[in-house]
Structure 1
């Protein structure tokens, strides 16, 4: 009988606390979705981001669900539909995300710039991008910024090179297609190129580098309360200040965490990339 009375009393107190918006820590913790652009295959992305998100959960008290996408086009559909509360996306994605859903960049890497690279087999005869005239070039996806958009724009508008694009889902697949002689060259970025196994990277060499732009931001959907956005922003800034945090973020790769805004990417809007963006 006493047990029933205690149970009833606890239930009543709990209902009152819920009504007042007061809960005991993680019992009713808010969960936010966190999308990640699929630069790497799913298992590698999980190894990179899960420990980072674990740290952000500890520092904010919120729960996060990492939402994967099998390919970049599916990732684009998701953020254009507003399916992510937070997302790590390429810089041009952030412009499209702002236009379609009102996403705003919160953070970015202040220690490097993003640029595309074209790689060819190390034993090939290609010495300039003009040598790729009429050849097949592998790209991870049409709208990958450094690995596709910037390269295709440069080749068409600056170098007048005609080529056949082949889209193969990931950066790693693009590099592998060159090694297997399925493509003469592949588009990528230095971050993913340097992260390749040595048996892959040693067979390739960089033929061309594109214009440099600010790197990928972490952006938030406008439905996320401003105080939550600020808390998540501060959590990433604080994480980077620790040795362990820097080690985790370097795997993304992010060398230095800094606050970001849409103004950081204004130059991209003047580069005429719209004609190369596939909707």
Structure 2
């Protein structure tokens, strides 16, 4: 039997090859067949998730709620010391130097990554801004959002911190961060579906020792991850409850 793996579309383009390396490493380590399918759209991926297409998913916090509570997935690991945080940034030449400087009618470059968008909107509340008095400009990726800021088609942008940090130095040098969130307990996680449940013990053991092996360490580096740490039911439920509260 061949299992199917997918990855939340918000990873940096430079890490595409890393996920293919990871898939190969997983197959050899667990001695099972795994097919990797990547997406450039959250909506397209969620459609296939709901169609029960996947058995292993590196999921963003928003999708983790659906996967665990509706589809019976179980979180087994998360990247160590790598929480998901949101960055609000502007063009370096912008007259806005703080969130409170932003005004009604400003154009917000965002993506369809719901947890990052939601946190960005929450952070705009200090300027008395919400979806009713700003112009939301949704883009397919953080790179496209950054380009909109740089060419003057948006006034402010929301970014996943890791995605912002991995923009080219040239792009970041032309942008200025107004604020970063500091939640610390929200993060991407690797979740296993019911069909693959029997492999959880072997998978978790392999992941938690991955950095100790030369090949495993190389794969981790290509993914932008230093190591994995275990994730239990309590941690998973706490994170999901927090995300559900923010989005509701």
Is the shorter-chain TM-score for this pair beyond 0.5, marking a shared fold? yes
Q: Does 2:135 correspond to 1:152?
A: no
CA distance in 2, matches of 1:191, 1:167: 19
**TM-score normalised by length of structure 2:** 0.87
Partner Cα distance (1:139, 1:114) in 2: 16
Q: Distance in 2 between matches of 1:199 and 1:190?
A: 17
Secondary structure in 1 matching 2:23: helix
Bigger Rg over Cα? 1
Residue of structure 1 aligned with 2:216, choices 245, 248, 256: 245
Tell me how many residue pairs correspond in the alignment.
241
Superposed, 1:2-151 pairs within 5 Å as 30-40=1-11, 44-134=14-104, 135-143=106-114, 145=115, 147-151=116-120
SS of alignment partner, residue 112 of structure 1: coil
Distance across 1 between alignment mates of 2:160 and 2:69:
25
Residues 225 and 189 of structure 1: CA distance in aligned 2, closer, same or farther (over 3 Å): closer
Long gaps (5+) in structure 1: 1-29
Q: Under a length normalisation based on structure 1, what TM-score does the superposition of the two structures give?
A: 0.78
Q: Is the 8 A contact 1:150 1:211 kept in 2?
A: no
**In 1, Cα distance between the equivalents of 2:160 and 2:113?**
14
What stretches of structure 2 of length at least 5 have no aligned partner? none
Q: Where does structure 1 differ by over 6 angstroms across 4 or more consecutive aligned residues?
A: none
Q: Deviations over 1:36-76 (max 9, x none)?
A: 111147x6453120111111111111121111223112222
Q: Is the 8 A contact 2:120 2:158 kept in 1?
A: yes
Choose between structure 1 and 2 for higher RCO, CA contacts under 8 A separated by at least 6 residues: 2
Q: Is residue 274 of structure 1 aligned with residue 247 of structure 2?
A: yes
Question: Cα gap change, 1:154/1:231 in structure 2, threshold over 3 Å: closer, same or farther?
Answer: same
Shift of 1:263: 2.3
Q: Is residue 176 from structure 1 mapped to residue 144 from structure 2 by the alignment?
A: no
TM-aligned CA distance change 1:180 to 1:108, over 3 Å: same
Aligned-residue offset at 1:240: 2.1
1:254 maps to 2:225: yes
For the residues of structure 1 that align with 2:78 and 2:122, how far apart are their CA atoms? Answer: 24
Report the equivalent of 2:129: 161
Contact 1:116 1:150 in 2 (8 A): yes
SS of 1:229's equivalent in the other structure is helix
Measured at CA, do residues 70 and 231 of structure 1 come closer, stay the same or move farther in structure 2, by a change above 3 Å?
A: same
CA-based RMSD: 2.1
